[in-house]
Structure 1
Amino acid sequence: MLYLTLPLAYLLGSLPMAILVARVLGLPDPRTTGSRNPGATNVLRYGGKAAAALTLAGDVLKAVIPVGLARGLDADPLIVAGCGLLAFLGHLYPVFFGFKGGKGVATALGVWLVIAPAVAGLLIATWVVVAAVFRYSSLSALVAALAAPLYVWWLAPIDAYVLLSLLMSALLVWRHRTNIQKLATGQESRIGASRSG
């Protein structure tokens, strides 16, 4: 049963919540609009707050469910971390949509909400502070990603979880490489702007 949580985590992570929400609400496919990223930030820009909130909640829950199940079954931290990583990878590389997914910010948050709620709280606070000061969603995500391994090492210093944080943070930075280029050239969209970013 414990090992079944691993493929379940990947399959749940592969559910493209932004695309599903867009279809249910009659919105354009997020892969063809705005930044073309199937994530809550892009949905917010063209679909509004309700659609973005549904997308965000879905992307968080698809990590919370399998990781929470593994924790509920009293799994070893390595299995729990494996579930978190596979849910995250499912979002980045979904089997249902040609392995082309989102950037993983909300799904990573869902992982930490179960494993270490205090870490999740600090990540949210980091994102909010950076967003309030600089008004860039991508920059906020990047700073939170870089801070995550430090928070985990401080509050949940278990080898499997520290390794998980390093892997997810490295992938988050990689997935934001286009945003990093736009930030460097001043072309990145600020929060509240309608232009793609």
Structure 2
Amino acid sequence: MEKAIVLLLSYILGSIPTGYIIGKIKGIDIRKHGSGNPGTANVYRTLGKWPGIITFTIDFFKGLIPTLIAYKIYPENYIFIIATGFACIFGHIWTIFLNFKGGKGVATSAGVFMALLPIPTSLAFLVFAIAVWLTKHISVGSMSASITLPIFCIIFKSPKPLSIMAFIVCAMIFYTHIPNIRRIYAGKELTFHHQKEEKNGR
């Protein structure tokens, strides 16, 4: 019963639509701007750097805190720890508060894996930063980080259950980024400074 409650609370916490709430504080419905997604990237492009950073940070901790708690309570129970992480991620992607249409799952997944695999996750963050710097697309950075995380897990000989989890989450991230992939191939994907360019008339 205790585990079921933790999983339920993890899903509900993951479901909190940070980007949507910040958009409302700023007087807009973030789903009606930019890409229409209530995640970090669209908040950053639409509302600016600090709203984007705040969104990412809160979404990151939505994954980090429940996973750390599960890990501390049941350090040897990988099934429960992984289930807790997935509950957070599922809540972020399929939030009960926005008709099951949430973010892409990147920030919350990052929090989950930072709790479980800090070194591989830190390296994946580095890959993300390099990819965004080279391409100017946050989506490319997110997918690059997600695909390299399982590789880093193998290199650092992470526990097999967590490595498998990393592969599954990688597939989920690519699934949530299908619209981005289509826009990239069509040459229509927004850059992270898209809104700034529009305001400057460029």
Q: TM-score range by the shorter chain?
A: over 0.9
What is aligned with 1:51? Answer: 51
Deviation at 1:11, TM superposition (A): 1.0
Secondary structure at 2:83 match in 1: helix
Counterpart residue identity of residue 185, structure 2 = A
Q: Deviations over 1:116-172 (max 9, x none)?
A: 111221111000111111111111111111112112223352222122111111010
What is aligned with 1:8? Answer: 9
Q: CA RMSD of the aligned region, Å?
A: 1.6
What is aligned with 2:27? Answer: 27
| Number of aligned residues | 195
Please give the TM-score of this superposition, normalised by the length of structure 1: 0.93
Aligned ranges 1:1-197 → 2 under 5 Å: 1-23=2-24, 25-75=25-75, 76-155=77-156, 157-194=158-195
The answer to whether the 8 A contact 2:44-2:192 is kept is: no
The 1-side partners of 2:10 and 2:156 are apart by 24
The 2-side partners of 1:26 and 1:182 are apart by 27
The answer to whether the 8 A contact 1:27-1:47 is kept is: no
The 1-side partners of 2:189 and 2:133 are apart by 16
Secondary structure at 1:37 match in 2: coil
Where does structure 2 lack aligned partners over 5 or more consecutive residues? none
The 2-side partners of 1:2 and 1:118 are apart by 27
The answer to whether the 8 A contact 2:59-2:107 is kept is: yes
Question: Identity of paired residues, percent?
Answer: 26
Deviation at 1:26, TM superposition (A): 2.4
Deviation at 1:28, TM superposition (A): 1.0
The 2-side partners of 1:174 and 1:193 are apart by 23
Q: Deviations over 1:48-101 (max 9, x none)?
A: 112111111110011111101101213412211111111001101011221111
Flag as ranges the 4+ runs of structure 1 deviating above 6 A: none
The 2-side partners of 1:169 and 1:8 are apart by 24
The 1-side partners of 2:16 and 2:192 are apart by 26
The answer to whether the 8 A contact 2:59-2:108 is kept is: yes
Q: Which moved further from structure 2: 68-77 or 1-10?
A: 1-10
The answer to whether the 8 A contact 1:130-1:140 is kept is: yes
The 2-side partners of 1:2 and 1:93 are apart by 21
Secondary structure at 1:4 match in 2: helix
Distance 1:97 1:155, change over 3 A: same
